[in-house]
Amino acid sequence: GENVEQHPSTLSVQEGDSAVIKCTYSDSASNYFPWYKQELGKRPQLIIDIRSNVGEKKDQRIAVTLNKTAKHFSLHITETQPEDSAVYFCAASIRGGSYIPTFGRGTSLIVHP
Amino acid sequence: NAGVMQNPRHLVRRRGQEARLRCSPMKGHSHVYWYRQLPEEGLKFMVYLQKENIIDESGMPKERFSAEFPKEGPSILRIQQVVRGDSAAYFCASSRPAGTYNEQFFGPGTRLTVL
């Protein structure tokens, strides 16, 4: 089955700095990679996703990159703000069908004002 | 369009009692997934259901745990004879039918505490 590794487990940055979270996956058939943000005590919420037919996707201060050959993908947050503080989860799955997404263990991002 | 609904939000049970968690998917979604999250850990898949069918229950313990998604009404995750190790947040998520990317929308979770 799929195995997703996520690093780092904790990331502490100063407000305004950039933050990068990296994930690797094992199943080359995976072609859909969502990222979720979970604030303390709340539900995970999808913030951005990328599909295997593109290498990069950007949405304002958030970007994701995908390297299919190396089987890794990354989340980049620029100009971090205190409200970006949360746990971020990456996941890997296969389009359609009933394939279950496999989640990474999460990265706790702390943005210091 | 209401999001994924879960109830109760908090549930306290004594060891040996039954816990029943409910999940109503988003309108138009026919797939439901249940996950368990322990403190400071990721989301662990438990079971995947469509209406009246269990598609994949590979992540659900064989004993004491069961799930259903009837034709009418919410999906239910049932934990019988709860033990302290069952204390966790249980999230359900829903998605559209197969053939689309499996974007999942999560409910607010049920936090189960076993005394």
| Range with the poorest average pLDDT among A43-57, B40-54, B96-110 | B96-110
> pLDDT band for position B102 (50/70/90)?
low
Beta bridge partners of residue B78, listed in sequence order: B20, B66
- Residue B101 is predicted with a pLDDT of 60
The chain A residue lying nearest B58, using CA atoms, is: A100
- Residue A62 is predicted with a pLDDT of 97
> pLDDT band for position A14 (50/70/90)?
very high
Is the pLDDT at B1 greater than 60? The verdict is no
For the stretch B60-89, pLDDT in tens is 999 999 999 999 999 999 999 999 999 999
Average pLDDT for chain B: 91
Cβ-based contacts of B48 with chain A (< 8 Å): 98, 100
- Residue A113 is predicted with a pLDDT of 93
> pLDDT band for position A22 (50/70/90)?
very high
Residue bearing the bigger pLDDT, B41 or B58: B58
For the stretch A33-89, pLDDT in tens is 999 999 988 999 999 999 887 789 999 999 999 999 999 999 999 999 999 999 999
Asked if B43 is an interface residue toward chain A (Cβ–Cβ < 8 A), one would say yes
> pLDDT band for position B41 (50/70/90)?
confident
Please report, rounded to a whole number, the percentage of residues in chain B having pLDDT higher than 90. 70
Cβ-based contacts of B99 with chain A (< 8 Å): 96
C-beta of residue B59 within 8 angstroms of C-beta of residue B67: no
Burial class for B59, CB neighbours closer than 10 Å (0-12, 13-18, 19+): middle
The chain A residue lying nearest B109, using CA atoms, is: A43
- Do B91 and A105 lie within an 8 Å CB cutoff? no
Determine phi and psi for A83, rounding to 5 degrees.
-75, -5
Cβ-based contacts of B104 with chain A (< 8 Å): 34, 46, 101
Asked if A10 is an interface residue toward chain B (Cβ–Cβ < 8 A), one would say no
Cβ-based contacts of A103 with chain B (< 8 Å): 42-45
Residue bearing the bigger pLDDT, A86 or B30: A86
Residues 79-98, chain A: which have Cβ within 8 Å of B?
A: 89, 93-98
The chain A residue lying nearest B55, using CA atoms, is: A98
How many whole angstroms separate alpha carbon A112 and alpha carbon A110? 6
Which residues, in sequence order, are CB contacts of A53 under 8 Å at separation 6+?
A: A31
Cβ-based contacts of B108 with chain A (< 8 Å): 42-43
- CB-nearest to A103 from B40, B42, B101 is B42
- Residue A24 is predicted with a pLDDT of 97
